[in-house]
Amino acid sequence: MDDSLNLPLILGAAFVAVASPGPGTLAIAKTSMSAGRRSGLALASGMTTGSLVLGICAALGLGALLAANQVFFEMFRYAGSGYLLYLAYKSVRSMFSRGADSGPVAAPVSLRSAYWTGLAIHLTNPKAILFLGALYALGLPADVSPFWLAVVVVAVSSQTMVILHGYALLLSIPGVMKAYLRLKRWFEGLFALTFGAAGLRILLSR
C-alpha cells in the first residue's frame, strides 16, 4: 500500500460519521422496530447503496464540484431537507394515529419501498458527499492510483454496510420491538422531532 495513503484516518472518520446518531440511523431504528428485521435490512441496504454511489462521486471529484457550484448544492439541500421534513410529518401522523400507544406492530413495509427510502435519505444529503470529498482529500495522496482509490471506496462502503445492517439486526430483536410497542407514541414523537430538526438544520444552513 502507498505509504502516503492514510486508510486508518479515512475509515476512522467514516466510522464515527456513520455510527453516530443521525437521520439515517434513526430511520433504520424506526423501520426495524416498527416493521421488522427484513424491512430494516432493506432500508439499510438502500443506505449502503447510497454510500457507495456518493463514495464513487467523491472519488471522481464531484464533491469539489458540488461545493463550488451553488446551484447544485442548493438543489441537493432543498431536496434533502424536504425529504427529512416529510419523514417528520409521517412520524407525527403515526404518533397521533388511533391506537398509537397500544396498537400492534405495523405490518412489514414493502422491501422495495424500504430500500428506496434508505437510498433517498442518503442521496439527498448534500453534506455526505462534501464530507467524503474532504475526507478523501485529507487521506489520499494527490497521485493515488485508480486501484487504491477503488480499494478505499470499497472499504468505506463495506464498513458502512456492516454498521448499518448491524443496527437493523440489533433494533429488530423481539425485546426492542416490544419496548417500541409499549412506548410507540413517545418513540414517534422523538423520531418526528429529530427528523424535523435535521431537515430544518439543512434547510437553514449556509
| Average pLDDT, integer, range 76-89 | 73
| H-only helix segments in 20-143 | 23-35, 37-59, 62-68, 70-95, 111-123, 126-139
Confidence of residue 103 (pLDDT cuts 50, 70, 90): very low
Least confident window among 7-11, 77-81, 90-94, 175-179? 77-81
Question: Is the distance from CB of 21 to CB of 197 less than 8 angstroms?
Answer: no
Nearest alpha carbon to residue 37 among 105, 119, 131? 105
Average confidence (pLDDT) over 133-137 = 72
Separation of alpha carbons 97 and 78, rounded Å: 28
- Mapped onto helix, strand or coil, the DSSP state of residue 104 is coil
Q: What is the DSSP letter of 97?
A: S
Residue given cell 487521506 in the structure block? 139
- Please tell me the distance from the alpha carbon of residue 118 to that of residue 150, in angstroms, as a whole number: 23
Q: Which of 25-39, 95-109, 172-186, 191-205 has the lowest mean pLDDT?
A: 95-109
CA–CA distance, 83 with 191 (Å, rounded to integer): 14
What burial class does residue 147 get, using C-beta atoms within 10 Å of its C-beta: 0-12 exposed, 13-18 middle, 19+ buried?
exposed
Taking each helix axis from N to C end, the angle separating 23-35 and 7-19, rounded to the nearest 10 degrees, works out to 50
3-state SS class at 56? helix
Residue 135 CA to its chain's centroid (Å): 17
pLDDT tens digits, one per residue of 170-205: 888 888 777 766 766 777 777 778 777 877 776 776
Judged against a pLDDT cut of 90, whether residue 9 lies above it is answered with no
